Chains A and B, each alone.
Chain A
Amino acid sequence: MEFFERFAIPHPSFAIYASMVAAGLTLIAIVAGLTYFKKWGYLWREWITTVDHKRIGIMYLISALMMLFRGGVDAIMMRAQLAVPDNTLLDSQHYNEIFTTHGVVMILFMAMPFIIFFMNFVVPLQIGARDVAFPRLNALSFWLFFMGAMLFNISFMVGGSPDAGWTSYFPLADGESVGSHYYMIAIQIAGIGTLMTGINFITTILKMRAPGMTLMKMPMFTWASLITSVIIVFAFPVLTVALAMGTMDLLFGTQFFTLENGGMAMLWANLFWVWGHPEVYILILPAFGIYSEIISTSARRNLYGYKSMVGSMVLISLLSFVVWAHHFFTMGQGAFANSIFSITTMAIAVPTGVKIFNWLLTLWKGKIEFTTPMLYSILFIPLFTLGGVTGVMLAMSAADYQYHNTMFLVAHFHNVIIPGVVFAMLAGLTFYWPKMFGFMLNEKIGKWTAWLLSIGFLLAFMPMYVTGLDGQARRMYTYSESTGFGPLNMVSFVGAAIMAVGFVLIVYNIYYSVRYASRDISADPWDARTLEWATHTPVPEYNFAITPEVASSEALWDVKKKGHVLFKGDYEKIHMPNNSGVPFIMSCIFFAWGFSLVFSLWIPAIITTIGIFICMTLRSFEKDHGHYISVKEIEDTESEMRGA
Chain B
Amino acid sequence: MKIDHSLPLEYSTEENRLKILGFWIFLGAEIMLFATLFASYFTLYDRTGSGPTGAEIFHITPVLFETILLLTSSFTIGLGIHAMRLGRKKAMMGFFIVTLLLGLAFLGVEIFEFVTYVHEGAGIQTSAFTSILLTTLGTHGAHVTLGLFWGLYILIQVKRDGLTPETGNKSFIFSLYWHFLDVVWIFIFSFIYLKGMM
Task: Evaluate whether A263 and B21 lie within 8 angstroms (CB atoms) in the complex, with A237-B30, A237-B33, A620-B150 already known.
Answer: no
Shortest B142–chain A CB gap in Å is 11
Interface of A is mostly: helix
Residue A476 at the chain B interface, CB threshold 8 Å? no
Please measure, in the bound complex, the distance between the C-alpha atom of A253 and the C-alpha atom of B127, giving whole angstroms.
Answer: 10
Q: Find out whether the CB atom of A261 lies under 8 angstroms from the CB atom of B127.
A: yes
Given contacts A264-B43, A271-B36, contact A199 B29 (CB under 8 A): yes
A206 to B21, CA, bound (A): 9
**CB proximity to B under 8 Å, residues A49-95:** none
Q: Is the Cβ of B43 less than 8 Å from the Cβ of A261?
A: no
Residues of A within 8 A of B116 (CB): none
Size class of the contact patch on chain A:
35 or more
B44 in complex: contacting residue of A199, A207, A264, CB < 8 Å: A264
| A241 CA / B18 CA spacing, docked (Å) | 27
Contacts A203-B22, A617-B153, A625-B1; A264 near B29 (Cβ below 8 A): no
| A332 CB-CB contact with B under 8 Å | no
Residues of A within 8 A of B19 (CB): 134
- CA of A267 to CA of B47, assembled, Å: 12
Q: Across the interface, which residues of A come within 8 angstroms of B47, CB to CB? A: 262-264
Across chains A and B, the number of contacting residue pairs, with CB separation under 8 Å, is: 115
> At the interface, yes or no: B51 with Cβ under 8 Å from chain A?
yes
Q: Is the CB of A255 within 8 A of B40?
A: no
Q: B41-74 toward A: CB 8 Å interface, digit per residue (1/0)?
A: 0011001111100000000000000000000000
Question: How many angstroms between the C-alpha atoms of A130 and B132 in the bound complex?
Answer: 45
Instruction: Let me know if B33 and A240 touch, CB within 8 A.
Output: yes
Complex interface bits, B1-37 against A, C-beta within 8 A gives 1, otherwise 0: 1000000000000000111011001101110110011
Most buried by A among B28, B126, B128, B150: B128
Say yes or no: B29 contacts A236, CB within 8 Å: yes
Q: How far is the CA of A487 from the CA of B157 in the complex (A)?
A: 72
- Give Cα A271 to B39, complex, Å: 10
Q: How far is the CA of A625 from the CA of B157 in the complex (A)?
A: 16
B149 contacts chain A at the CB level, 8 A cutoff: yes
A238-B36 Cα distance, complex, nearest whole Å: 6
Which of B131, B153, B157 interacts with A254 by CB under 8 Å? Answer: B131
Q: Which of B125, B127, B131, B156: most chain A Cβ within 10 A?
A: B131
B124 at the interface (CB under 8 A from A): yes
Query: Which chain A residue lies CB-closest to B46?
Result: A262
What sequence of 0s and 1s flags, for each residue 593-630 of chain A, a beta carbon within 8 Å of any chain B beta carbon? 00000000000000000000100010011000100000
Is B25 touching A271 in the complex (CB atoms < 8 A)? no
CA–CA, A529 and B174, complex, Å = 43
Contact of B153 among A236, A241, A255, A620 (CB under 8 A): A620
Chain A: minimal CB distance from B33 (Å): 4
The interface residues of chain B lying within 8 Å CB-to-CB of A262 are 44, 47-49, 51, 127-129
B153 to A, closest residue via Cβ: A620
When distances are taken between beta carbons in the complex, the residues of chain A under 8 Å from B30 are 237
Contacts of B36 in A (CB 8 A): 237-238, 241-242, 271, 274
Query: Known: A237-B33, A252-B124, A262-B128. Contact between A207 and B40, CB under 8 A?
Result: no
Distance in Å from the Cβ of B183 to the closest Cβ of chain A?
16
Known: A237-B36, A241-B36. A256 touches B128 (CB 8 A): yes
Q: Show 9 residue pairs from A and B whose CB-CB distance is below 8 angstroms, ordered by the A residue.
A: A133-B18, A233-B25, A235-B32, A237-B32, A252-B124, A255-B49, A261-B126, A263-B131, A620-B154
For the A-B complex with A258-B128, A262-B128 known, give 17 more contacts whose Cβ atoms are closer than 8 Å.
A195-B29, A203-B18, A207-B21, A208-B18, A236-B29, A237-B29, A237-B36, A241-B36, A241-B40, A248-B124, A248-B131, A255-B49, A260-B49, A261-B49, A261-B51, A261-B128, A621-B156
